[in-house]
Copies of this chain bind each other. A is one copy, B any other.
Amino acid sequence: MPKPVNSHEPTKTRILEAAETLFAEKGYAAVSVREITAAAGVHLAAVNYHFGSKKRLYFAMFEQRLLPRVMSVRPPIEALLQRGNARPAEMIKTLVRSILENPWPDDRRQVTARLISRELSQPTEMFDILIETYFRPMVQMIARLLSPFLGPDMTEESLLLNTLSTIAQITYFSNGQPVVTRLTGRPYDADFIDQLVGHITDFSLRGLGLERKPC
């Protein structure tokens, strides 16, 4: 448990921080309250005093730390939408970059991505909240961003699938880091992330039919 303990934070915050890290690493079931309190440098009973139970600690962590952080990704992308004059290449590149090298603090990037991916692949009671407050608005916003360029004859569903194909790549290269590193031999440093952003942008632009190949 090499996690620094921030001993000036209040007990409650220390618990939330430690819980977040551990839940992200191992998953809810594999983490014990003892482990969390030890990592947080607080006494065992503190979790039940402050949160009532282990499950409610998870929910509190989710609502108070995870959700606010993921919501913070949206404003910059919304700003892009408001401007209204961006070109598709620029839009997609910004989108990809804003998620791949996201604005969360360095020590929380991996943690945040893992918690989201965990919740999406193994829904708990938080699944609905995550979908409706974060994921669906995000997808709709991206779809609205793209839709003017994709032609008016495209169905809603087709627009959605195209949006999801773009998101699929971002998600895959973001969450699948262990696999990608293993296969390419490249660690996720600034260099490689740049390259990934470029690749995903190009592939998606072509996939969306927004960039013509020589014919």
Which chain A residues in 174-194 approach chain B with CB under 8 Å? 175-176, 178-180, 182-184, 186
Alpha-carbon gap, A145 to B173, bound state (A): 22
Which stretch from A49-57, A84-92, A117-125 is at the chain B interface?
A117-125
A173 to B164: give the CA distance in the assembly, Å. 9
Quote the shortest CB–CB distance from A211 to chain B (angstroms). 9
Taken together, the copies of this chain in the complex come to 2
Say whether B176 contacts A120, CB under 8 Å. yes
Tell me which residues across on chain B come within 8 A of A118, comparing CB atoms: 121
Bits for A130-167, please: 1 = Cβ < 8 Å to B, else 0. Answer: 01000110010000000000000000011011101101
Q: Which of B121, B186, B195 contacts A121 (CB 8 A)?
A: B121
Q: Chain A interface (Cβ within 8 Å of chain B)?
A: 26-30, 114, 117-118, 120-123, 127, 131, 135-136, 139, 157-158, 160-162, 164-165, 167-169, 171-173, 175-176, 178-180, 182-184, 186, 195-196, 199-200, 203-204, 206-209, 212-213, 215
